[in-house]
Structure 1
Amino acid sequence: MKNGSLLKKFTILLAFILLAGALYLFINQGESYSVKKPTPKIKAITVSEIAAITGQESVNKTEERYDIKGTDLGSIFDMKGKLYFVFGDTFGAGSMLPPGTGSTSYWRSNVVGYSTDMDPSDGVKLDGFLEDVNGKAKEIIPSNKIQGNHLTSIPTYGVALENNMYLFYMAVDSWGDPGVWNTSFSGVYKSSDEGKTWEPVEDLQWDGGSNFIQVAIVKPDQNKEVLGDDIYFYGVKAGRYSSIQLMKVNKDKIEDMNSYLYFTGTDSDGKPQWTSQEKEAKDILKTTAGELSVVWNSELQRWIMTYINGTTTNIDIVEAENPWGPWTDPMVMVAQSDYPGLYGSYMHPAFIKNEGKTIYFSMSRWGTYNSYIMKADLELE
């Protein structure tokens, strides 16, 4: 009798455990999807330097032609058959480089070059820069040039939609230790005449603590089937020490702050969920990232993201089957030990070659304070 009672209790307890387990799996299907990482297609990467884009040593002779001895970054966007290279703090002829080592001349917070050269295998020949009345590369987004008060305006990415160009930028108040800086906000400037004149997009700003101070932009035409008419923005905070989040907006509503939606995870079917409240946004990749770039590699059928890892100071690369992830474990694409002073890696779909197995990208070096075209050859599983 006693044994029968114990058996009955054990059977009830076992049934309860099984039911609880099934209920847990049902409730957490979305969570399981979000944390299961795909198997990487990239097995190994070989990186080489092709040629400088800027500086007097480059084929573009920018010191002589555009009063640019040194500049950095070089994110890339396209419009009407041209690629536009967007650079950060820029210094004129005779300046001591890198910045902070001596006197500089003609400081501009940003400049933009353009090119019709779609073959980066021997470097990129620029057709020109957006110029001032003196024929020098002009500053697009102004800044106060005052320490602690909008010291400089650094573009993080650009995008062109029909006849309009948009430059997303961060208002940097001060530079700190390597990989650390303070910003008061991020905002947007717009041109409707192919870069001749620019004006701010009023009311389109994210505050200084936002996870979208720096963004990488993906246009719908990279993968229309997945993105539809939405532009995707991958964002990090100021500096190089934050996780990555995702927001999107319909291409026709890019100037409407209230139309931006923020990724909050996936449902039980793996479908992305969105909110209009930025504070509810969830990380798509927990890391320490800055200066990021994302492209759809149609040959590999993978989303490819690169960023500088603030902890290791290497440039990492990750892959995903969906634009929101989940992402593979990071792999080092460019090692700081191989290219001391590296930062800023920017890709563009036009620079994916060799059936998706070669990616050309721009990268900066602090010591020379200029930007370079680099080549990454991918060995696939």
Structure 2
Amino acid sequence: MDIRLFIPPTFAAWILACAFAAAGDSPPPVYHRGTARKIAQLTGEVDRTLRVPTRSRTRSRASILGTDLGSSFEHKGRLCFLFGDTAGAHGGGRDSFAWSDAAGPEALRLDFPVDSEGKFIPISIPGISQKAYEVPTGGISIGDAMYIVFTTDWLGEDVKNMGRSVLARSLDDGMTWEALYDLSQHRDGDLSQAHFINAALAETDSAAWDGGLPWPGQVVLIWGSGAYRKSSPRLACIPSERIEDRSALRYFAGLDSAGAPRWSERESDAAALADHDVVGELSAAWIEPVRRWTMLYNSKEPRGIVMRTASKPWGPWSDAEVVFQPWLDNGYGNFMHVSWELPERRDAFHDPNKQNVWAGAYGPYLIPRFAHGDARRCWIYYTLSSWNPYQVILARSEIGAPLDPPPPLLEESTLSFGDAQWRKTSDDFYRIAERDGQRWLTTFAERKDADQGALWRWLPRDGSAVALRFFVRGGQAEAMLLEGGGDIPTDAADMRALYDSIKRGEYGTVVRCAWGLNDTETPVTVEWRLSPYDRANLKVAIIDALDSPWGFVGVSEIQMTRDSNVHPDRAEDRAARMDGLGSN
């Protein structure tokens, strides 16, 4: 048994909270480490990382193979989504629009407008270029009209920037669009004065902000970034009833000597809300449970998706707080591909011919409708793009008041295949052997590829398991992690039917999945952090329902980390070592 001592990073946040309390101020919410999780893949036909159909089934329902981005806004009771370059019926350079009536995140299904052939109808704005990389970044509904900000005038691979953003309007619920005016524009390739190429929009009542906004009544707040992933966020404001009048735009230009906001008619006067020249895609929204304006964007330093919050639209904004770190929060190797140029294989999924292309987490777009909880513990939901696979997922992170420091002790143990807690359909579909100093279970037994069966076990029902680590080799049979549900039957005669019922969620939700590379020599490293899940209701299963070539899997004995704390930081050191790898 390996007992280790560590100092949790949440301890610093706890000390900071005490300092705020002593001063009589309310501290900004922080990320509760280990809580970020993928809820579902929103686009594509099949979630290839879990081998289950997506709820939206976009290939069969809209001829969409994959896409990215996914900023959203409310319109006439519907949640509307704007997606970027969309692979499918129209090649890869057109952009798509979808909506959903889902009241909750688990029911989120996308509906795309389609033509008579079942192909998605792309967003079309006459008069502007809409090629690859030229995409919609944010939208808002005012009255019966939709308004979106669309980036255009791609400046080329050398610059890798959009040169202009356009405000466009739809009067028929997104079916047709017309350009209204340029929101922000480069000057001969110079973007130093263009601060709103990417934009996030939200409507608010000016009366709620003590006269700090430049216009009375309902106004639209516009947070923006300029040079792509090389700029800091800015803020603009325009009356809702005059959103089609560019001359009504006012730009936050900093604070005066009394601490009151100053506003300017000139975009060049726009002041940075925070000094962080990494911002490209961004979202901002009022999150009611924490009563804060909340901003998300992807960052290279600190690495990951970061959050800033403010009690007022102009700030002061809190320091950057990472709410999703691709190594620490089970991204890489679970739904984000790890390049095979890394000697240690981490997954067996990637887009065609992109085995050496790193995934990257970007485009975190908040969905305020789904936020719930309170100031102590609030769950925020956002779309997130992964690049490889080229899809959009729905993600969730928990934020709120700093939690008490967790106890420092963790314990390692082994889920031995020989113990009585494993339940199995039979004893003859697998064998156990020593290899490389480890015990391995393989479903390549007496009947070889034709062997079929399942074995599974609950993880500790006290919720103490925080991580699993093991290796898989071989073929396409699977190891899975399931959340919730009941016992998996061991008297099933038809393994394929049992496999299908597991994937349908009849015995819990499949939240993690691993299989081999059709290679008995190269292991795939599997690391599953369990803190985002209901740890008292998790089970691990190995199932072989295949009888075709490579219809088996080998699994090493599973190493389990246990701890009594709800928010462990077990993977912090490993994440730091891996932090330079991957893409954003």
Give TM-score, length-normalised by structure 1: 0.79
**8 A contact 2:126–2:177 mirrored in 1:** no
Which of residues 115, 140, 151 is equivalent to 1:170? 151
Q: Which residue is equivalent to 1:111?
A: 96
**Distance of aligned partners of 1:306 and 1:277 in 2 relative to their CA distance in 1, 3 Å threshold:** same
Instruction: Give me the CA root mean square deviation.
Output: 2.5
281-290 or 350-359, larger mean C-alpha shift: 350-359
Structure having greater relative contact order (Cα 8 Å, sep ≥ 6):
1
Structure 1 residues 317-374: Cα deviation after superposition (integer angstroms, max 9, x where no partner): 1111211111111111111324242111011221211236111111111101111111
Within 2, Cα distance between the matches of 1:118 and 1:224? 29
- Out of 279, 282, 287, the position equivalent to 1:297 is 287
Distance 2:165 2:126 in 1: 13
**Number of the residue aligned with 1:77:** 73
Code of the residue aligned with 2:365 in structure 1: it is Y
Residue 250 of structure 2 corresponds to residue 265 of structure 1:
no
* C-alpha separation in 1, matches of 2:290 and 2:301: 29
Q: Would the aligned equivalents of 1:284 and 1:325 in 2 still touch at CA under 8 Å?
A: yes
Give the alignment of 1:1-381 within 5 angstroms: 39-42=27-30, 44-45=32-33, 46-57=35-46, 58-92=54-88, 106-120=91-105, 122=106, 124-126=108-110, 128-141=111-124, 151-174=132-155, 176=157, 181-201=160-180, 203-208=181-186, 209=191, 210-220=194-204, 225-226=208-209, 228-287=217-276, 288-337=278-327, 338-340=330-332, 341-355=360-374, 357-381=378-402
Q: How many residues align?
A: 326
Q: Give, in angstroms, the shift of residue 136 of structure 1.
A: 1.8
Contact 2:127/2:179 (<8 A) preserved: no
Cα distance in 2 between the residues matched to 1:309 and 1:295: 18
Amino acid at match of 1:135: G
Residue identity in the other structure for 2:313: P
Normalised TM-score (structure 2): 0.53
Name the amino acid aligned to 1:363.
L
Report the counterpart of residue 526 of structure 2 in structure 1: none
Unaligned runs of 5+ in 1: 1-36, 94-104
Q: Corresponding residue for 2:354?
A: none
CA–CA distance in structure 2, aligned partners of residues 304 and 225 of structure 1: 17
Deviation per CA, 1:154-198: give whole Å up to 9, x if none: 001011101111110111425648xx7222311022110112221
Does the 8 Å contact 2:167/2:182 carry over to 1?
yes
Residue aligned with 2:85, SS: coil
Q: Percent identity?
A: 32
CA contact under 8 A between 1:187 and 1:205: conserved in structure 2?
yes
User: 3-state DSSP class of the match of 1:64?
Assistant: helix
Q: Is the 8 A contact 1:38 1:326 kept in 2?
A: no
> Contact 1:241/1:309 (CA < 8 Å) preserved in 2?
no
Measured against aligned partners, the alpha-carbon deviations of 1:250-280 in whole angstroms (never above 9, x if no partner) come to 0011111111000011223432110101111
Higher-Rg structure is 2
Distance 1:379 1:183 in 2: 35
In structure 2, stretches of 5+ residues that fail to align are 1-24, 47-53, 333-359, 403-584
Q: One-letter code of the match for 1:216?
A: A
Aligned-pair CA distance for 1:142: 5.1
Measure the CA separation in 2 of the matches of 1:379 and 1:168: 31
C-alpha distance after superposition, 1:125-145 (max 9, x if no partner): 12x213334332111135999
3-state DSSP class of the match of 1:286? coil
Evaluate the alpha carbon distance shift between residue 258 and residue 278 of structure 1 in structure 2; reply closer, same or farther with a 3 A threshold: same
Cα distance change on mapping 1:193 and 1:80 into 2, 3 Å:
same
CA distance in 2, matches of 1:365, 1:125: 19
The SS at the match of 1:111 is strand
Cα distance in structure 1, aligned partners of 2:133 and 2:125 = 8
Q: CA deviation at 1:295?
A: 1.4
Q: Which has the higher helix share?
A: 1
The more displaced of 267-276 and 51-60 is 267-276
Q: Structure 1 pair 43/106, CA: closer, same or farther in 2 (3 Å)?
A: closer
* SS, match of residue 118 in structure 2: coil
